[in-house]
Amino acid sequence: MNERIINELIESFGKLLMAGLKVSLPLTIASFSAGLIIAFLVALAQIAKVPVLRHLVRVYVWIIRCTPMIVQLFIVYFGLPSIGIKFNSFVSAWLVMSLSVGAYCSETVRAAIQSVPVGQLEACYCDGLTFWQGMMHVIVPQALRTAFPPLSNSIIGLVKDTSLAYSVALVEILATAQRIAARTYDYFWLYLEAGLIYLIICSVLTVIQSRAEAALERRR
Amino acid sequence: MLELKNVHKQFGDNVVLKDVSLKVEKGDVVAILGPSGSGKTTLLRCAGYLNRADSGRLVIGDKEFDLKKIAGKDLLDYRSRVGFVFQSFNLYGNKTALGNVTLGLTVAQKMKKDEAEEIGRKLLERVGLSDRVDYYPSKLSGGQQQRVAIARALATNPEVVFFDEPTSALDPELTGEVLNVIKSLADDGVTMIVVTHEMEFARKVATRVVFMENGEIVEENNSKDFFEHPQKERTKEFIYKSSTWASDTQIDGSGI
């Protein structure tokens, strides 16, 4: 490792980090938020045993879980344009990753909702609350507390999965590293640096997770 | 002032309530007794609109509700007239004692937060828990939790409070504090219907007693006559078996 490489790594570090903060992290947050909403609705459809919907969501979970994410990305980004539906890289990745989070987290959310005794919802009804009010004020806050550790796991997994969006021309951390290395042929060092950036982001998230868990624990 | 009219309920082919009717005067404390599976809890849950009756009506004060379907504004009106206390307390785990009492007032009845909290504090004081206002349910004993639940049921100043076996989930030592609170409400003239297995409570606190079996009311009387002069054979047998643990009772339950 000579001085040239050291200088190159220092210079590229900022670029990779910015790619992480400007592309990978926003993609993670946008996908995870949308995915959680999907997961919640899927969980409700299963809990409430909504006749047709319940089977539809099972098919959805089945398809998403049993096909590789990179294939899904290719279908959306390279496949859909041939039938006239065109999304840019970021939107394609966001769609696929939201659907993925929705499918994987629906079981977590369902179990967490069902861990809150159903009697509390009945008590909400007696208090004059509607189903949705009871969910928002009583059931979901408690379910989220239960679901927090597994959901944190999912969000950290998602940060790493965003690297797959490289394959649909999204210039995120890995693609940025690849572009720099293509000029200098220092693939080994650049990819190591890309790995380091993921390590840093996920470590920060891990610290936030344990602090948040401790804070939640104090409030009960 | 409160009347249940022809409440009918079946689960599949199993008829749980056979056109049950019941009239309750203001200030009455009605104890509903009966063996397991007699339909007493289902009657209370239908009257409390936690289960939908197949048919039946409930008159409270000047309003009549269809227990098959109450919706929209009627439902909120109905909920504010009826309080419900569960066997398993069902306190909101993410709310303090005060939060439990005020949630319905602020969210459903759209009351201002400080007004609701004033009511909440008064009610918690009434059930003897003014020093536990900020405690979460997990930090309260079973008896304390049930008293919070009673305060919560009273929040809208309802015209009647339904109790579903309020002491069945409690340690024997803790039943007293809950029954005392219910008794103090009775002394204040709160109208209550209590499904219970506590014979002493039915005898001493209830003004009327209803005995149910197989989805029907078998006998109904004021509490003194119910226990001292039961009319039906089945009622006599029930009182005898429940009130005594007589050494001369055979294992199969046959008498004396």
Share of chain A above pLDDT 90, in %: 83
Asked if the model's pLDDT at residue B4 lies above 80, the reply is: yes
Residues of A in Cβ contact (< 8 Å) with B94? 138, 141-142, 145, 219-220
**Are B164 and B44 a contacting pair, CB within 8 Å?**
yes
Share of chain B above pLDDT 90, in %: 73
The per-residue pLDDT for range B92-109, each reduced to its tens digit, is: 999 999 999 999 999 999
Asked if the model's pLDDT at residue B256 lies above 50, the reply is: no
Average pLDDT over every residue of B164-174: 89
Nearest to B86 among A123, A128, A145 (CB): A123
Residue A68 belongs to domain with CATH number: 1.10.3720.10
Torsion angle, alpha carbons of B141, B144, B146, B151, to 10: -150
Q: pLDDT at position B204, please?
A: 85
The alpha-carbon gap from A122 to the nearest alpha carbon of chain B, in Å, equals 7
pLDDT classification of B252: cutoffs 50, 70, 90: low
C-alpha span between B220 and B33 (Å, rounded): 10
Asked if the model's pLDDT at residue A7 lies above 90, the reply is: no
C-alpha span between B154 and B3 (Å, rounded): 20
pLDDT classification of A120: cutoffs 50, 70, 90: very high
The per-residue pLDDT for range A168-188, each reduced to its tens digit, is: 989 999 999 999 999 888 899
The per-residue pLDDT for range A20-70, each reduced to its tens digit, is: 999 999 999 999 999 999 999 999 998 887 888 889 999 999 999 999 999
B101-124 exposure pattern, b = at least 16 Cβ within 10 A, e = fewer: bbbbbbbbbebeeeebbebbbebb
C-alpha span between A32 and A35 (Å, rounded): 5
Q: Domain count for chain A, please give it.
A: 1
Asked if the model's pLDDT at residue A218 lies above 90, the reply is: no
Nearest to A122 among B50, B75, B83 (CB): B50
Whether chain A has a CB inside 8 Å of the CB on B110: the answer is: no
Q: pLDDT at position B155, please?
A: 94
Q: Tell me the one-letter amino acid at B145.
A: Q
Nearest to A127 among B49, B103, B136 (CB): B103
pLDDT classification of B254: cutoffs 50, 70, 90: low
Asked if the model's pLDDT at residue B247 lies above 50, the reply is: no
Continuous segment of H or E residues that includes residue B178: helix B172-187
Average pLDDT over every residue of B59-83: 92
**Closest-CA residue of chain A to B71:** A130
The alpha-carbon gap from A8 to the nearest alpha carbon of chain B, in Å, equals 52
Q: Do B155 and A137 touch (CB under 8 A)?
A: no
Interface of B with A in 45-74 (CB under 8 A): 48-50
Q: Which domain holds residue A145?
A: 3-219
Q: Do B107 and A145 touch (CB under 8 A)?
A: no
Residues of B in Cβ contact (< 8 Å) with A138? 92, 94-95, 103
Maximum mean pLDDT: which of A94-108, B161-175, B198-212, B216-230: A94-108
Asked if the model's pLDDT at residue B205 lies above 80, the reply is: yes
Average pLDDT over every residue of A122-129: 95
Q: pLDDT at position B248, please?
A: 52
State chain A's mean pLDDT as an integer.
Answer: 92
β-strands B2-11, B55-60 pairing? antiparallel
What the block records as the tokens of A56 is 């539809």
Nearest to A126 among B79, B88, B94 (CB): B79
Q: Which ipTM score applies to this complex?
A: 0.90
Average pLDDT over every residue of A162-168: 94
Whether chain A has a CB inside 8 Å of the CB on B94: the answer is: yes
Size of interface A-B (CB pairs under 8 A): 73
Share of chain A above pLDDT 70, in %: 99
Residues of A in Cβ contact (< 8 Å) with B138? 220
C-alpha span between A71 and B220 (Å, rounded): 71
The alpha-carbon gap from B118 to the nearest alpha carbon of chain A, in Å, equals 17
Whether chain A has a CB inside 8 Å of the CB on B92: the answer is: yes
**Closest-CA residue of chain B to A115:** B93
B32-71 exposure pattern, b = at least 16 Cβ within 10 A, e = fewer: bbbeeebbbbbbbbbbbbbbebbebbbebeeeebebbebe
Q: pLDDT at position B1, please?
A: 82
Average pLDDT over every residue of B82-88: 95
